[in-house]
Amino acid sequence: MTTRPEPPVIPSERGKCPFDPPAEYARLREQDPISPITFQVAPGDRDGWLVTRHDYVRQILADDRFSHRNELLAHVVAPPFPIPEYVPQPSPPGAFAKTDAPEHSKYRRLLAGHFTVRRIQQHEPELTRIIDGVLDEMAGLEPPVDLLKVFAETVPARSVCSLMGVSPELVSDMSEHFGALMKLTYTLGEFIHHLESINEILGRMVKTRIDEPADDFFGQLIATGELTEEELVNLAVLTVGGSLDTTPNMLGLSTFALLENPDQLAELRARPELYETAVDELMRYLTISQMGSSRCALEDVEIGGRTIKAGQTVVLSLPAANRDPALFDNPDALDVTRVPRKHLALGFGIHQCLGQHLARATLRIGLRRLFERFPTLRLAVPADQVPLRDRAVHYGVDSLMVTWG
């Protein structure tokens, strides 16, 4: 009797360095860059592909023969609760992240003007004031403190309040539920509770905004007259919720990485102008989107000698692509002098991160002001005792205890 081999799955086992993706990615990228995997639950074919080479990932992200529609994608991340007959559903109106053109284009067009380079540059003085205020509060605390709580989570939350005109109370109420969903450790009952709570909180906000018009982010969206109440709520989930998980994780993990790479931190202290591009190097090196990005083939497509069949899901490993030595010299090293052109931490193609300019500004100003204000900042615990978010949509730290002075 022969033992049936385990189906290939997405690598998840990380090594000793907390900043490196699973080592298996390097082997696959070199030996089998479009490798077969098996999904736990899928709408059609249970078998799909894992793509780890940068050029292949970038090619697929820009290819309209691959769809990002939710109802077509295999269930990539095994849920923490069993779903014996999972039936993927189309994204509801307004939840455009997992849709294709023209639906995706419609909503992105309405939002894009609020996140342009110019609009974010206009927001930078306020963003700087927010960051300095948070650092003032941190300076008044007795160290050690959890940098994730007092700085990395607080700055983006207050920035969202300012930029989008959302009340601090609403952001505070929503953060708990959104953070719980991103960690992927909930039960089915908890999942339903958190999702319903988010929709209820944002539903109340939208109703208030409709009744009390204001000339801010949501007020201007409502004034277009193009969106239903349901669409506005789902757009709020993406714009507000998205800011409350990605940027905090990048701020926390970037601080950890720089403290553990003192030569790179010294380079930034000596040449502060490097922060302009160093934030992209940190995004490349850390690539917190550890689940990658998924697409479904709409027709048979041949890439790299493999035929991806219509209906199959491909998982595009952004962490593996961003460590590809074919594009980046010495890719496993953090080099703040590097200008990492073509990195994919923010995606590529029509689904590239809408808030990328805000994310860059927050990281650039936030990290610089942090290390200028606290020149003796250091970890308060050994590096191997920093708890990591390795069971979550976005990789990061669960806390980062630091001290100074």
The mean per-residue pLDDT over the stretch 207-231 comes to: 90
11 in any annotated domain: no
**Reported confidence tier of residue 292, pLDDT bands at 50, 70, 90:** confident
Per-residue confidence (pLDDT) for residue 345, from 0 to 100: 97
Q: What is the pLDDT of residue 46?
A: 67
Q: Which two tokens stand for residue 256?
A: 């950890």
The tens digit of pLDDT for each residue in 325-348 reads 999 999 999 999 999 999 999 999
pLDDT exceeds cutoff 90 at 358 = yes
Average pLDDT over residues 18-43: 88
Cβ within 8 Å of residue 31, ≥6 positions away: none
Residue 346 CA to residue 331 CA, distance in Å, equals 17
Q: What is the model's pLDDT at position 316? A: 96
How high is the pLDDT of residue 172? 86
- Cα separation, 389 vs 182, in Å, equals 10
190/178 Cα distance (integer angstroms): 12
Indicate whether 68 pLDDT > 70. Answer: yes
How far is the CA of 57 from the CAs of 63, 236, 308, in angstroms? 10, 29, 13
Question: Which range, of 30-34, 66-70, 212-216, 316-320, averages the lowest pLDDT?
Answer: 212-216
Give the CATH number for residue 390: 1.10.630.10
Q: Are 348 and 58 in contact (CB under 8 A)?
A: yes
Q: Look at residue 322 and tell me if it is in a domain.
A: yes
Is pLDDT above 90 for 323? yes
C-alpha 230/C-alpha 166 separation (Å) is 18
Contact 312, 48 (CB under 8 A): yes
Asked whether residue 39 carries a pLDDT value surpassing 70, the answer given is yes
Which residues does 83 contact at the CB level (< 8 Å), separation at least 6? Answer: 41, 75
* Residue 375, pLDDT above cutoff 80: yes
Q: Is the pLDDT of residue 84 over 50?
A: no
Residue 312 included in any domain: yes
> Which pairs count as long-range contacts for 337-341, CB under 8 Å and 24+ apart, including other chains?
337/267, 337/274, 338/277, 338/281, 339/277, 339/280, 339/281, 340/277, 340/280, 340/281, 340/283, 340/284
Tokens of 298: 């709409």
- pLDDT for the residue numbered 12: 82
Lowest mean pLDDT among 47-61, 82-96, 134-148: 82-96
What the block records as the tokens of 247 is 């940027």
Of the listed ranges 75-79, 138-142, 290-294, the least confidently predicted one is 75-79
**Mean pLDDT lowest among 31-45, 117-131, 270-284:** 31-45
> Can you give the pLDDT at residue 87?
67
CA distance 252 to 235: 26
CA-to-CA distance for 292 and 231, rounded, in angstroms? 26
Residue 3 lies in a domain: no
Q: Is residue 98 part of a domain?
A: yes
Instruction: List residues bridging with 289 in a β-sheet.
Output: 394
Q: How far apart are CA 48 and CA 34, in angstroms?
A: 10
pLDDT number for residue 76: 57
User: How many domains are contained in the chain?
Assistant: 1
- Domain of 285 in residue numbering reads as 24-403
Q: Which residues contact 14 (CB under 8 A, 6 or more apart)?
A: 20, 21, 22, 388, 390
Residue 279: predicted pLDDT: 98
Whether 13 is covered by a domain: the verdict is: no
Highest-pLDDT range among 43-47, 79-83, 134-138? 134-138
- Asked if 182 and 392 count as a contact pair (C-beta separation under 8 A), the reply is yes
Q: Check pLDDT > 50 for residue 204.
A: yes
- The answer to whether residue 390 scores a pLDDT higher than 90 is no
Mean pLDDT of the chain: 91
Read off the tokens for 174: 């929503």
Q: What is the pTM of this model?
A: 0.94
Provide the pLDDT for residue 1. Answer: 42
Residue 10 lies in a domain: no
Specify the range with the lowest mean pLDDT, choosing from 5-9, 13-17, 283-287: 5-9
18 in any annotated domain: no
Beta strands in 291-396 (DSSP E): 293-297, 301-303, 306-308, 313-316, 378-379
Residue 4: which pLDDT band, with cuts at 50, 70 and 90?
A: very low
Between helix 246-259 and helix 356-373 the angle, nearest 10°, is 40
